[in-house]
Amino acid sequence: LTSTQPHRTPDPFRDGRSERMFEVSCRQERRYEVHMVDDVFAVDSRLAPLLAKRKTLAVTTPTVWSIYGQRLEALRSALGADLAVFVLEAGEGRKSMDMVLRICELCHEHELGRTDSLLSLGGGVCHDLVTVAASLVRRGIPHVSVPTTLVGQIDAGVGVKGAVNFRGSKSYLGCFAPPAKVLVDPAFLQTAPARTRTDGVAEIVKIGLIADANLIHLLQEPNSLLSCETPSTNRTQMVLWLAIRRILEQLSTNLFEDQTYQRLVDFGHTFSGQVEELSGYEISHGCAVAIDMALSAAISLTLGSLSNTGFQRILTLLKECSLPIYSPLLTVASCQGALRSAARHRGGHPNLVIPHRLGSGGFVTDLAILSDDVLADSIARVRTP
Ligand SMILES: NC(=O)c1ccc[n+]([C@@H]2O[C@H](COP(=O)([O-])OP(=O)(O)OC[C@H]3O[C@@H](n4cnc5c(N)ncnc54)[C@H](O)[C@@H]3O)[C@@H](O)[C@H]2O)c1
């Protein structure tokens, strides 16, 4: 049967009410590759096709540019790549929205389109700035990460987060913006400042203490990253790759931090931001993380979740790594402030990560457990261990 009646859409507003709902749901799968590579500036490297295919603005820092600029220039010439370079004054004090906007201005000046790319060639600060800029330009353009410090290679440069400091608050403004690709070349570590090596070791200790005791054992072996001046040996590369894998395993289940607010990788990152801020960024990120790890271990001991032997082992390990275990900036008041700030960041609970034994950790979710007395006792344990 065919109807001769014209099809009429029922008048949705016939009932005189204006409230309506349309639910939009979206799921965006993101994937990216992290490669450990041999010579990132070689013409047959994994970087070459990325530069050859699209216009790129590389962002780097003065020291990195002075050491590696010629090699990047040579690669540009060999490929005939459309590559502009911006050398920015790096440093924690420069991790600001002004710097991000400067990068955005240059993207505009060089007429970068949606498929063109930013490239960060530097440490964690450079990476953080580039990631935020990449998330803003045209609401998001690709960015390739070539981290040149240990922190960059095992943490900042392989993850999806970018951030700037804002109004005195560490990494207060930021974004989640996965990189198009990450290329880790261990050779950069040979020239990275010693301070960045120590900071990176703090992050390796972090991941080892809560996720893989074997990583700690490897780190302590002779010729590992700790003692080795030339981090290109098999042993150092093994530690580096294992640390990267363990971090990525932790990050990848909760990449956008929307699955849970309980993240083991937050170990050492509850009190550390406060310590960095209060020191006027005189205390580096890694050292602040170490101070935080020692205090969190002391809290674990105070709460009966870690043995005294386990606690002493962690302190010894941190000292062996030339990392600090205490700062006078740790007071009950500053720690309570940091815990409240962490709770605002972590869905209403501090979710303080505490080590239970080597290679495993847990969470303190209730602020009430972290009383002034518990904090005072724990601070005393790291002040005079
Ligand atoms: N986004 C994240 O997920 C994340 C994670 C961890 C840390 N971070 C951030 O990373 C920053 C710390 O990064 P960092 O430790 O890499 O220090 P950094 O980026 O401040 O770099 C330190 C100095 O080392 C120089 N440098 C870098 N690589 C070099 C090399 N190969 N040879 C010679 N000089 C080199 C730089 O020019 C700079 O002067 C902090 O701001 C921290 O908040 C971010």
Atom of ligand 1 nearest to the CA of 188: 31
Task: Please give the distance, rounded to the nearest whole angstrom, from the Cα atom of residue 213 to the centre of ligand 1.
Answer: 26
Q: How many residues does the chain have?
A: 385
Task: Please give the distance, rounded to the nearest whole angstrom, from the Cα atom of residue 129 to the centre of ligand 1.
Answer: 11
Q: Are 235 and 221 in contact (CB under 8 A)?
A: yes
Best residue among 89, 100, 151 to mutate for probing ligand 1, ranked by most atoms within 8 Å of CB: 151
Torsional class of 330: left (φ above 0), alpha (ψ -120 to 50), beta (otherwise): beta
- Could you tell me how far CA 95 lies from the centroid of its own chain? 14
Helix axes 332-345, 372-383, angle to 10 degrees: 120
Residue nearest to atom 11 of ligand 1 (CA): 124
- Could you tell me how far CA 269 lies from the centroid of its own chain? 11
Task: Please give the distance, rounded to the nearest whole angstrom, from the Cα atom of residue 37 to the centre of ligand 1.
Answer: 19
**Would you state the pLDDT for residue 348?**
92
The residue with tokens 């950790």 is 361
**Would you state the pLDDT for residue 224?**
64
Task: Please give the distance, rounded to the nearest whole angstrom, from the Cα atom of residue 203 to the centre of ligand 1.
Answer: 13
CA-nearest of 172, 96, 127 to 345 is: 172
d(CA 4, CA 151): 72
Atom of ligand 1 nearest to the CA of 150: 16
d(CA 266, CA 358): 16
**Would you state the pLDDT for residue 229?**
58
**Would you state the pLDDT for residue 19?**
81
CB 313 less than 6 A from any atom of ligand 1: no
Best residue among 65, 128, 145 to mutate for probing ligand 1, ranked by most atoms within 8 Å of CB: 128
Distances (CA, A) of 374 to 271, 327, 358, 368, 381: 15, 17, 22, 10, 11
d(CA 314, CA 298): 10
Residue nearest to atom 29 of ligand 1 (CA): 192
CB 123 less than 6 A from any atom of ligand 1: yes
Task: Please give the distance, rounded to the nearest whole angstrom, from the Cα atom of residue 153 to the centre of ligand 1.
Answer: 10
Task: Please give the distance, rounded to the nearest whole angstrom, from the Cα atom of residue 125 to the centre of ligand 1.
Answer: 5
What is the reported pTM? 0.90
d(CA 236, CA 216): 13
DSSP 318: H
d(CA 46, CA 35): 9
d(CA 347, CA 344): 6
CB 125 less than 6 A from any atom of ligand 1: yes
Task: Please give the distance, rounded to the nearest whole angstrom, from the Cα atom of residue 92 to the centre of ligand 1.
Answer: 9
Q: Which amino acid is at 59?
A: V
Residues 6+ apart with CB under 8 A from 85: 57, 58, 59, 60, 65, 69, 72
Residuewise pLDDT in 10s, the chain (385 residues): 455 666 667 676 777 777 888 899 988 888 999 999 999 999 999 999 999 989 999 999 999 999 999 999 999 999 999 999 999 987 888 999 999 999 999 999 999 999 999 999 999 999 999 999 999 999 999 999 999 999 999 999 999 999 999 998 888 999 999 999 999 999 999 999 988 989 999 999 999 999 999 999 988 876 566 555 555 677 788 899 999 999 999 999 999 988 889 999 999 999 999 999 899 989 998 999 999 999 999 999 999 999 999 999 999 999 999 999 999 999 999 999 999 999 998 999 999 999 999 999 999 999 999 999 999 999 999 998 7
CB 283 less than 6 A from any atom of ligand 1: no
Residue nearest to atom 34 of ligand 1 (CA): 192
Q: Are 321 and 272 in contact (CB under 8 A)?
A: no
Instruction: Return the number of other C-beta atoms located less than 10 Å from residue 374's C-beta.
Output: 17
